Amino acid sequence: MADLFFGGIDVGSLSTEAVIINSEEQVLAEVVLITGVNGSEAAQKALNQALELAELAQSQIAALTSTGYGRASVPFATGKTTEISCHGVGAHHLFPSTGTVIDVGGQDSKVIQIDDRGHMLDFSMNDKCAAGTGRFLEVMADRLELELDELSNPAYITGPSTPISSTCTVFAESEVISLLAKDTPREQIVNGLQRSIVNRIWSMVVSIGIHGEVTITGGVAKNQGLIKVLEEKLGQKLNVPKNPQTVGALGAALIAKRHHSDSTST
C-alpha cells in the first residue's frame, strides 16, 4: 500500500509554519515564513515550499489541518483546530513525558496541561496584551538597538537586573527609553526584560500548576537567556525542541493523520 502523507499549517500573527509527515509520523519537511498581510497566501506559500522539500505534490496530501489565529483562512485544509490542541499534541510527540506546555508566540502566551496522549486538560492564556511575547521582544530589541539574537544572549542575565514594572508593551517601551536616558547599562535592562517575561509566564503556571515534564514551544523558545531565567524560576530543566516554532504545525499534521485514520476505519 502506498505511503500516506499529512500536513499541518499554523498561521500565526507574525509567522506561518508548515509541516509534512508520513504514515510513520516522521517529519519530511518543515517551513517557517513571515505571515505578512495575507494569511491565506502565506499558508499556500509555506505549503508549496514544504511540498518541494518533501518532493511531493499537493494532491498527495491525504489530510491537512490548519491552526493558529488564521486557521480559517486556509481554504485547502481538510480540518481546523485550536493552537492549544496542536501544541499539546506536538509537544507530547517530541517529548512523551510532557505534562505541561509553555507556548510563547508572537502575540500571546499560554500554559497548557496535557494528558498522556497530548490532549489538553487545562490551560491559562494571556492574549489581552503583547507584553511577554515575541512581538514584545522585537519592540524592545529595536529600542535597545540590538538584534533579536543579541537580546537572547545568556550573558545578559548573569549580572545586575533593572526591574521593568510595566505590564503593557507601550508603557514598557517608555520605561526602557527613560532608563536609557539615565545611562542604565543595556545589559541590566535586558536582564530586567527577560525576568519580567518570566514573571508573566510564572503567573500563568501558578494558576494551573506544573504537571510532569515542561516543554516550551513557540519562537521565543529560541531565547536562551529567557530559558535560563525560566528554568531558575521553575526549578527544573525545560524540554526545548530543535525547531520550537513548528511544534504547532507538527501537532496539526498529527491531528490530521488521526482524523484521517478514524474516518477510514469506520
- SS3 for 243? coil
Look at residue 78 and tell me whether its pLDDT is greater than 50. yes
Where residue 250 falls among pLDDT bands split at 50, 70, 90? Answer: very high
Using the structure block, give the residue that is written with the C-alpha cell 489565529: 69
Better-scored residue on pLDDT, 48 or 140: 48
Cβ distance 33 to 47 under 8 Å? no
What confidence category does residue 82 fall into, taking pLDDT thresholds of 50, 70 and 90?
very high
Cα gap 256→266, rounded to integer Å: 16
> Dmax of the chain from CA atoms?
69
- Domains along the chain with CATH numbers: 1-95+243-266 (3.30.420.40), 100-240 (3.30.420.40)
| Cell numbers at 50, concatenated | 514544504
Confidence of residue 115 (pLDDT cuts 50, 70, 90): very high
Q: Could you count the other beta carbons within 10 Å of the beta carbon of residue 158?
A: 12
pTM: 0.89
Mean pLDDT estimate for the chain? 89
Alpha helices in 72-147 (DSSP H): 83-94, 134-143
Residue 121 near residue 105, CB atoms below 8 Å:
no
Residues of the chain with pLDDT > 90, as a percent, come to 59
* pLDDT at residue 45 greater than cutoff 70: yes
Distance between CA atoms of residues 74 and 39, nearest Å? 8
Q: Are 142 and 212 in contact (CB under 8 A)?
A: no
φ/ψ bin of 95: left (φ > 0), alpha (ψ from -120 to 50), beta (otherwise): beta
Helix (H, G, I), strand (E, B) or coil at 220: helix
Which segment of 54-68, 134-148, 204-218, 226-240 scores lowest on mean pLDDT? 134-148
Quickly state the pLDDT bin for 266 (edges 50, 70, 90): low
